[in-house]
Structure 1
Amino acid sequence: MRRGKGINSPWTYAFGMLAMMIPSQAFSTFYTYYYIEKLGLALGLATLARVIFMVWDAVNQPLAGYFSDRTQSRYGRRKPWIYVAVPLFMLTFMLVFMVPGGLSGYGLFVWFLIALILYEAAATILWVNYGALFPELFRGGALRTKASAVQQGYQIVALLIGTALTPILFNKLGFGSMSMIYAVAFAFFMLLCMRYVQEDPEALKTPRMGLKEAFSATLTNKPFWVFNISNSFAQTVNGLLSSIIPFYAKYVLRIPEGQVTILLAAIFVSVIPLVGVWYWLVRRMDPVKAWRLSLGAYALSVLPLWFGNGLGAGVAAGVIVGFGMAGFLVTPPVVSGLIIDRDFDDTGRRREGIYTAVAGFITRSSGLISVLAFFIVGQIYGYKSGDEPGPDPETTFRVLISIVPFLLLLTAIVLSFLMKIKGGDSTKDNNGGTDINV
């Protein structure tokens, strides 16, 4: 592929991550808080809407990947889908946070559900096609590790903006204006990313698979399934922590809403240099072992959150979480790329889209665990909504931010050991990857 200045550079490709993660993080961190605490939607109705949302999210991912892989145009396979999805994502993101006045009860539930479904449809097209570009643009272990580290560095900046800046914006301007600002920022950075992406023309020449054949080949890839099922439990923790932090700040740390920004900044600012530490580690380790190590570090890092009491203790616990989170952000893309490379070696067909989509299906399906955990723990301790927090909301959110994530990560670690290395140790392929098997 021709590489002009900035073309297919890890630094310009990562603008796409920055673009999508700013609104996505604001969404995942505050949409539950907004509807339950601010608008008074009952926890039961919110849980039902989120379950439907998760099921829809899981179902539409594989189809988006399949159609992306089959696309053949002079503009490439992925870029046309991304260009179409940009205005749709802007509109649907604003729809989530621009709720008409006077809605309550079942009317608010219907708005919530429709907004979630439409938002997810647009987000799926973006995430599947952007993610499918990664293994195509960056080949070989060294380049892929660098690209992953750069991408996650941008992601942390986006996480910081999407979490720490968001309370400032909605306190000053309201949720609706906040969503408009983030929608415009998304469009700017995503179009900037696409300006410097040039897809591999050779990928268009690989034979296309039918729907049944594509899914069959994916479903029989055992390393892919072990990796993604294990990874999905850990990925669920990312979403769970983000959504629980505002509740944790209110009911456990007992800090004012304006200080939530400080707490979130402590977590995500610390992640930025720690991504560099993990990049250094991954370059010197077998990628699969580095991935397992990151899962273990993440599991231990959530335990101090149980002991949080006040802003200072919350900040200290947040910095520790940052170390575990940084490792988990850097290592999975490297392992995933190795699995996709191995599939191409075996089949002679490039199917980044279907692999990215099915991986998303697995991850989103496991997101139901966080939804159900919220509901079950809330029922145990009597939490119903911001209007009816129950007799012990403090313990409710200590359990949800520490014990539940630890158990999810422990499950991920156990599953990760089902992925074995041929010969009992790492063996390197020609691209610096690892010969993996189950």
Structure 2
Amino acid sequence: MSTEARTPPWRYAIGMLGTSIPINLVRGSVILYYVDILGLDVRAYGIVMTVYAVIDAIDNPVLGYLSDRTRTRFGRRRPWLVVAAPLLAASMIALFSVPTGLDGVGLVLWFAVFAILCEAFDSVLNANYGALLPELFPVEKKRAVANGLRQGFQLVALVLSLAVTPVLTTSVFGTEETTDGFTTTAALYGVLACAVILFMALGVRENPQYATDRRPALWSGILAILRNPLFWKVGLVGACYAVAMGLVLSGVQLYVRYSLGLPVANALFLQAVVILVSAGGLVLWTRVVARRGALWTWRVAYAVLAVSFVGLFFANDLVTAMVAGAVVGLGWSGMLATNDLVVARVLDADAAAHGEHREGLFLSAFGFFGRLNGVLIGLALTSLGVFFGYNSGADPGTDPGLAFRVYLCAYPFVLTTVGAVASRFVHVPAPETSLAAVIGDDTPDDTTDDAADDAADDQGAPT
């Protein structure tokens, strides 16, 4: 019996709710909490993020390697998910529970320790959770459905961790200028996320054949990945999208405060529009994937996302920002529906070429590009001090409004434009093509048609 028959797509997909809540709370609120309220200097923030990138470059491949080599009666991925979930929740709660009066070096160290722990446990969760997608759903049409569902759950998580959070932290559990609301909110989200991840992990059924393969070696596996051109092409192009959205998620509350001149709680309305449009867009983009293939759809979505930031830059009140945000949501939902499918194709091709299922190692290596996110966000934030004089909430400079328009709109526009252009030069075989390389002529007829459609898409021909 196939894993597709034994694991309902919704049971796998709901895990995205649990994996997304903690890290999006961290990325969406940590600058507001530490820099604007507690007064952490943006230069210290940038240094911490740079140090983390170095640590992450070392620990991510090791964590993925250990996951690939794990052999238990519970599977390869599930034990890691069960262990990492409570550790991430605890680290997130600690990150938003700075002791009263802590400042200076002590504040920097507290931030550094728990920010790094949050990112590390998030890496464990996402490498193992992401590795299950190509294993459980090897056919792209069914994979697209599972991915669409999980991205839908991610949007639910974003409603909580981004849109609702400003109201909880500044109105329900705290105020605009205090931190108590963050601690309570983090505790609630931590419990919810942990429960959802455990529910998902205990319900999926891994493919036992994957565990019968020889255990991948670390250094030869890393070298094979580094020699794979698709790793660099897809990783770097995908990083343009990841960093751009990281800037948006981390800066939206300060964009509302400084660029629109409104209380932070109004971020709820802007984020709600983006998320609601993204939810509807997922249905549309998933249908486009079924018709034109993931790669073609990915390229189109990238272009839409890049253009959307122009309107957001020129928005001057909440209404115009919400209209521009709707376009951002449309482009973003296209990337949510396709980016992981393109990455999964790379994993399929690697498994077909080398006869090893090392999805954990591969995704951890891809995670390095994602962790460039933290470094570049730190550099972008530091640049606001250089160009606009914004160093912290206590020292915002003469024009923090323009500073956060550049941070939230101009920088993402440049990144996504580069990514949209570069995506035209990326060609990744369809998963059914990789499967055919292993099983010969037994590929089902409908998947063969999908591969042909995608090949036509890559050529720019109509299907």
Fold shared per TM-score above 0.5: yes
Contact 2:2 2:207 in 1 (8 A): no
Determine if contact 1:160/1:265 at 8 Å carries over to the other structure.
yes
Matched, 1:265 2:272: yes
1:421 positional shift:
6.9
Give the superposition deviation at 1:215. 0.8
Tell me the equivalent position of 1:195: 202
Q: Which AA in structure 1 matches 2:20?
A: M
| Deviation digits for residues 346-379 of structure 1 (CA, Å, limit 9, x no counterpart) | 1111111111111111221254222212211331
Distance, in Å, in 2 between the alignment partners of 1:161 and 1:348 is 41
Report the equivalent of 1:74.
73
Residues 18, 158 of structure 1: 8 Å contact kept: yes
Contact 1:58 1:362 in 2 (8 A): no
Match in the other structure for 2:256: 249
Contact 1:70–1:208 (8 Å) recurs in 2: yes
* 1:148 correspondence with 2:155: no
Alignment correspondent of 2:134: 135
Cross-structure match for 2:286: 279
Match of 1:13 in 2: 12
* Contact 1:60-1:124 at 8 Å conserved across structures: no
**Unpaired segments ≥5 residues, structure 2:** 174-180, 437-442, 459-463
SS in 2 for 1:302: helix
Supply the AA of the counterpart residue of 1:90.
A
Could you tell me which amino acid in structure 2 is paired with residue 197 of structure 1?
V
Secondary structure at 1:314's aligned position in 2?
A: helix
Q: Which residue of structure 1 lines up, in the alignment, with residue 117 of structure 2?
A: 118
Deviations 1:121-144 (A, max 9, x none): 222211111111111011111111
Range that drifts further, 82-91 or 45-54: 45-54
Q: Match of 2:440?
A: none
Residue 299 of structure 1: aligned partner: 306
Report the Cα distance in structure 1 between the residues aligned to 2:305 and 2:313, rounded to whole angstroms. 15
What is the rounded CA distance, in whole Å, between the counterparts of 1:386 and 1:296 in structure 2? 34
C-alpha deviations, 1:278-308, integer Å up to 9, x for none? 1111111132121111111110111111111
Report the Cα distance in structure 2 between the residues aligned to 1:421 and 1:194, rounded to whole angstroms. Answer: 30
Q: Kindly report which structure 2 residues correspond to 1:93-242, keeping only aligned pairs within 5 A, or say none.
A: 93-171=92-170, 172-173=172-173, 174-242=181-249
Contact residue 10 and residue 150 of structure 2 kept, 8 A? yes
State the shift of 1:180 in Å.
0.5
In structure 1, C-alpha distance between the alignment counterparts of 2:99 and 2:77, rounded to whole Å: 35
Letter in 2 for 1:51: T
Q: 1:162 to 1:421 in 2, by over 3 A?
A: closer
What does residue 177 of structure 2 align with?
none
Supply the distance in 2 between the matched residues of 1:237 and 1:321 (Cα, whole angstroms). 11
Q: Does 1:392 align with 2:391?
A: no
Aligned with 1:362 (options 369, 383, 386): 369
Question: Which residue among 293, 298, 313 is the counterpart of 2:320?
Answer: 313
Structure 2 residue aligned with 1:403, among 410, 429, 436? Answer: 410
1:405-426: CA deviations, max 9, x gaps? 011011212322332478xxx9
Asked whether the 8 Å contact 1:95–1:115 carries over to 2, the reply is: yes
Q: What residue is the counterpart of 1:31 in the other structure? A: 30
- Classify 1:214/1:375 alpha carbon distance in 2 versus 1 (closer, same or farther; 3 Å): same
Offset of 1:2 from its aligned partner? 5.9
Contact 2:69/2:76 (8 A) holds in 1:
yes
Gapped runs of 5+ residues in structure 1?
none
Q: What per-residue deviation string (whole Å, max 9, x for no partner) do you get for residues 231-281 of structure 1?
A: 111111111100110110011111112212112111111111111111111
TM-score normalised by the chain length of structure 1: 0.94
Shift of 1:85: 1.1
Two-structure CA RMSD over aligned residues (Å): 2.1
Task: Report 1:374-389 matches (<5 A).
Answer: 374-389=381-396
SS in 1 for 2:361: helix
User: How many pairs align?
Assistant: 433
Query: How far has the Cα of 1:67 moved from its partner?
Result: 0.7
Q: Deviations over 1:47-83 (max 9, x none)?
A: 2122222332333211111110011111111111111
8 Å Cα contact 2:298-2:339 kept in structure 1: yes
